[in-house]
Amino acid sequence: MSILKVDSLVTELRIADRHFPVVNDVSFTLEKGETLAIVGESGCGKSMLAMSLLRILPEPLARIGSGRILFDDRDLAEAGVDEMRTIRGKRMSIIFQDPMASLNPVETIGNQIAEMICEHEDISRRDARKKAIELLRMVRLPDAEKRVDEYPHRLSGGMCQRVMIAMALACRPEILIADEPTTALDVTIQAQILALLSNLQSETGAAVILITHNLAIVAQIADRLLVMYAGEIVESGTVASVFGNPRHPYTRQLIDAIPKGTGPIEGEIGRLAEIRGSVPALDQRERGCNFSQRCDCAVARCRTDKPVLKQSSGDHSVACFVAQSEAA
C-alpha cells in the first residue's frame, strides 16, 4: 500500500531572475514500511527533492513549480504553512547529514527532544522529559538518564546522530527522510546507526526515504532505489534488480566507479573506472538526455530528444533510448 505519491514534481531554483528546474518532472510512490533510496552525485537534486516533500525549501530562492505530493489524499504541494506544521515532525520527519549542526548548541538534548514532543502533543513538560529519556533509551544512548541533561558538544558525532533519530521518531512518524545520515561518521558507527534505523523502522512500521551517494549502503539496507541525474530519475527498481542488472549507463558507471571491497587483489595498483566530466550546471542542461555529454553509448537521438522513464520489466524502469531499444 502506498503512503506517499509524488506526481510530476518540478522544483525550481531562481538564479538571476530565471527559474531553473533542480527537480525535473519526478514521479514515484513510497510504500508503507519500505526503505526507498535516492542516489546520485552531488548536484543531482536529491536533497532538493527531500526538502520539497517537507516543504522546507529556502523560499523564495527555491519553490515548487508544478506537480503534486499526495500524502493521505492531501496535496502537500498546495498545503498551507499551518497544515505543514502539523505534518512536519509528527507524520513526516527528517534527519540530516551533520548532527552537530542540526542540534541547538545552547540547549540540552533533553529539552530539544521535549520541545519537539510538546509541539505536537498535549503533554506536560515533566512527562515530555520522561518521554525524552525513553526515546534516548530506544536509540541506545548509554546512561540516558544522565545524558538527557547534556549539551550537544559533550557528545560524539555518533551519539548526536542517535539524538537526532530519537527526535525524528518521537511522534512515531509514518515517513522518515534520512538525508546522508551516516556520511559524517566512521564506518563502525555507520553500521550501528544503520542497524538502529532499520530496527526502529521494523518496530514503528515507518517508511524510510534514504538519500545517499553511497551505493554500498543502498545495496545492503534499501528495498528499492531511484537513481537521479541532473534533477531527473534515470532508473528505478528493486535493489536486487538494479544492482543485478543496471540498465542505465549512468547507473552502470556509478557502480563501476566504486572501489570493490571484495574479490581478488591484483599485483598492480589498479585503476578505477571513472565517469569523465561532471554533472552539468543548471544553465548548461540541454534538450536531450542530460547524461549524453558523459555517456559512452550516446547516439544522435540522445542529444535532441529527452528519454522518459519506461518500465522495462516488473518494477524496473529506465530512461535511456539505448537501454529501451535493447529491451524491445
The DSSP bridge partners found for residue 64 are 11
Span 173-232, contacts to other proteins by CB under 8 A: 186-192, 194-195, 199, 213-217, 219-221
Span 114-153, contacts to other proteins by CB under 8 A: 140-142
Cα 60 to Cα 90: distance, rounded to the nearest angstrom: 25
Q: Which is nearer to other proteins, 104 or 220 (CB)?
A: 220
Is 150 in contact with 104 (CB distance < 8 Å)? no
- The count of residues interacting with other proteins (CB under 8 A) is 53
The region of 55-63, 84-92, 272-280, 312-320 touching other proteins under the rule CB under 8 A is 272-280
Cα 171 to Cα 194: distance, rounded to the nearest angstrom: 20
- Which position among 258, 299, 300, 308 is part of the footprint of other proteins (CB under 8 A)? 258
- Which position among 271, 283, 287, 296 is part of the footprint of other proteins (CB under 8 A)? 271
- Which position among 70, 118, 123, 255 is part of the footprint of other proteins (CB under 8 A)? 255
Per rule CB under 8 A, is residue 273 in the interface with other proteins? Answer: yes
- Which position among 253, 290, 292, 293 is part of the footprint of other proteins (CB under 8 A)? 253
- Which position among 126, 263, 283, 328 is part of the footprint of other proteins (CB under 8 A)? 263
Per rule CB under 8 A, is residue 297 in the interface with other proteins? Answer: no
Span 29-68, contacts to other proteins by CB under 8 A: 41-42
Minimum Å gap between C-beta 189 and other proteins is 7
Q: Which is nearer to other proteins, 106 or 187 (CB)?
A: 187
Minimum Å gap between C-beta 47 and other proteins is 13
Minimum Å gap between C-beta 277 and other proteins is 9
Minimum Å gap between C-beta 222 and other proteins is 9
Minimum Å gap between C-beta 298 and other proteins is 17
Per rule CB under 8 A, is residue 240 in the interface with other proteins? Answer: yes
222 grid coordinates: 534499501
What is the SS3 string spanning the chain?
A: CEEEEEEEEEEEEEECCEEEEEEEEEEEEEECCCEEEEECCCCCCHHHHHHHHHCCCCCCCEEEEEEEEEECCEECCCCCHHHHHHHECCCEEEECCCHHHHCCCCCCHHHHHHHHHHHHCCCCHHHHHHHHHHHHHHCCCCCHHHHCCCCHHHCCHHHHHHHHHHHHHCCCCCEEEEECCCCCCCHHHHHHHHHHHHHHHHHHCCEEEEEECCHHHHHHHCCEEEEEECCEEEEEEEHHHHHHCCCCHHHHHHHHHCCCCCCCCCCCCCCCCCCCCCCCCHHHCCCCCCCHHHCCCCCHHHHHCCCCCEEEECCEEECCHHHHHHHC
CA distances 172 to 47, 120, 124, 169, 213, Å, are 23, 11, 18, 5, 27
Per rule CB under 8 A, is residue 260 in the interface with other proteins? Answer: yes
Cα 250 to Cα 230: distance, rounded to the nearest angstrom: 11
- Which position among 8, 278, 311, 313 is part of the footprint of other proteins (CB under 8 A)? 278
Q: Which is nearer to other proteins, 41 or 119 (CB)?
A: 41
Per rule CB under 8 A, is residue 287 in the interface with other proteins? Answer: no
Minimum Å gap between C-beta 268 and other proteins is 9
199 grid coordinates: 530496527
Q: Which is nearer to other proteins, 58 or 270 (CB)?
A: 270
Residue ranges that bind other proteins, judged by CB under 8 A: 41-42, 140-142, 156-159, 162, 186-192, 194-195, 199, 213-217, 219-221, 239-240, 243-244, 253-255, 257-263, 265, 267, 269-276, 278
